Chains A and B, each alone.
Chain A
Amino acid sequence: MSKLLEIALGLVTGIGGFLEAGSLATSAQAGAEFGYQLIWAIALGAICIAFLVEMGGRLAAVSHHPLPDAMRERFGIRFFLVPLVAVALVSFLVLASEIGGVCLALQFTTGVAFRWWALPVSAALWLFLWKGTFGLVEQGASLLGLVTLSFVVGALKLHPALHQVGAALLPSLPTHDPAKYWFMAVSILGASVSPYLFYFYSAGAVEDDWDEGYLGINRVVAGLGMTFGGAVAVAVLVCAALVLHPRGIQVDRYEQVPFLLTEPLGRWGFRLFAASLAVACFGAALEIALLLAYLVAQGFGWRWGENLRPRHAARFALVYTAALLLAGLVIVTGLDPLKLTIFSMALTALSLPVTVMPLLVLMNDPDYLGDRTNGWLSNAAVLCVSVVAAVVALVTIPLQIFGS
């Protein structure tokens, strides 16, 4: 496959795959509550995930080890268990949130309550993984995910003052409710810098048999893909800032979010919203379920691979099957999907140092990367964001819980 086609596909993955339940919910809430002010958080998150995704790809291409495999080798089983459990737990909660997102989209269009969709959606996801290949999951979900560009169209139709949007790329202090402001900033970071994104990308690079020749593509795909993806999240925030914020509407339920597209695009906006929510969450759910299987299988040396028939990688298949079933059951309980989403984003931010540190150490180890180890900028950027995000999360999460 020509390199240009690879880049195009990678970009599509970045754009189509960026928006999911977490970034949609956090961007909508931020826009409604604080107007344009939190755009810098999305930008910062996009930059950080671009660095991390590039690293995951570089690790796979140079060492031919996917991240979980390399982690256990490098750190030994005791230290490996810590990030393993952290990433698995957090990713599981995000998986449940994504399933919740698909279920809500179905509820909006059919009137059947979201809890009843949970197991059917889990089953549909499972069938995709059971019968599908890695290529189908990676590219199919992302191509369909391009429907989320509706938010960009909607945002443009609302005629935002572009200089104001640009100005908001720089961090600013909140004009009101600082505790909520910083909590939202942290949730946005958690939504952008989800561990599953770079762990999955790394596993994907191995599934696609990358080698050192792909390092250039890797950099372009990571950088541009995440930048454009972040732009879609900014579009969501802008829509919320122009539709909800002037009316004093806070986002407390998912039912308030379709207005972001119905205002500029009418009935088609409603359809596109439901489609975007369903497709974005479905795609993310596929990736997370696969990621959980990679984590366990690669960490323990089992046979793994989405391209293999399930009977040839039985334990690997068992992990994603169990994960989808359990996550579906979480939604069947009727737990508020929006609260679950926001909570798992904040938890992601809190766990960033634990989930990111192993990758950082590996990226500076010449045994794995040869002469392609990290430059000081990559290290500094990622380290800074992870630690700051975690500290702010540590402070704002209790405030949010006890203050409401």
Chain B
Amino acid sequence: MPITVVTVTVCLLFAGCRPSATGTAERARAERHSWESTLGLLEQEAARGAVPAEFARQLRQAAEEERRKAQARREGGSEP
């Protein structure tokens, strides 16, 4: 019983934590940079034939999906 109380309290405390605005912006920037770098590395690897064309297509699609998700998060977060 006491363990349950402590666990729930700890979880509630953290639930009350909101990520800071600057923290979120930094993370979003890091994520954007990460995907830009990924696509850069993809072009490099594709140019030397290290990855098949089909896989390159999948990775580009994944990058696009993540970009759309990040945008939706940004728009969702900017609403008061």
Give the residues in chain B near A399, CB-CB below 8 Å.
14, 17
Closest A residue by C-beta to B49: A267
Contact A262 B14 (CB under 8 A): no
Contact B38 A249 (CB under 8 A): yes
Contact A263 B45 (CB under 8 A): yes
- Give A250 to B66 CA distance when docked, in angstroms: 12
Q: Is A133 an interface position by the 8 A CB rule?
A: no
**For this complex, into which size category does the number of interface residues on chain A fall?**
20 to 34
A interface: dominant SS: helix
Q: Is A374 an interface position by the 8 A CB rule?
A: no
Q: Is B75 an interface position by the 8 A CB rule?
A: no
Interface string of A265-281 (1 = CB under 8 A from B): 01101100000000000
**For this complex, into which size category does the number of interface residues on chain B fall?**
20 to 34
Contact A402 B45 (CB under 8 A): no
Known: A250-B30, A266-B50, A267-B49. A395 touches B10 (CB 8 A): yes
- Give A402 to B62 CA distance when docked, in angstroms: 24
Contact B38 A256 (CB under 8 A): yes
Closest B residue by C-beta to A108: B55
Partner of A249, one of B11, B34, B48, B66: B34
Give the residues from 12 to 58 in chain B that come closer than 8 angstroms, CB to CB, to chain A.
14-15, 17, 19, 23, 27, 30-31, 33-34, 37-38, 40-41, 45, 48-52, 54-55, 57-58
Give the residues in chain A near B55, CB-CB below 8 Å.
108-109, 255, 258, 270
Partner of B50, one of A111, A269, A398, A404: A269
Q: A100: shortest Cβ distance to chain B, in Å? A: 15
Q: Is A107 an interface position by the 8 A CB rule?
A: yes
Give the residues from 62 to 86 in chain A that come closer than 8 angstroms, CB to CB, to chain B.
none
Closest A residue by C-beta to B14: A398
Give the residues in chain B near A109, CB-CB below 8 Å.
55
Q: Is A213 an interface position by the 8 A CB rule?
A: no
Interface string of A295-324 (1 = CB under 8 A from B): 000000000000000000000000000000
Interface residues of B (CB under 8 A from A): 7, 10-11, 14-15, 17, 19, 23, 27, 30-31, 33-34, 37-38, 40-41, 45, 48-52, 54-55, 57-59, 62, 66
8 contacts between A and B (CB under 8 A): A110-B54, A247-B40, A256-B38, A258-B51, A266-B49, A267-B52, A394-B10, A395-B14
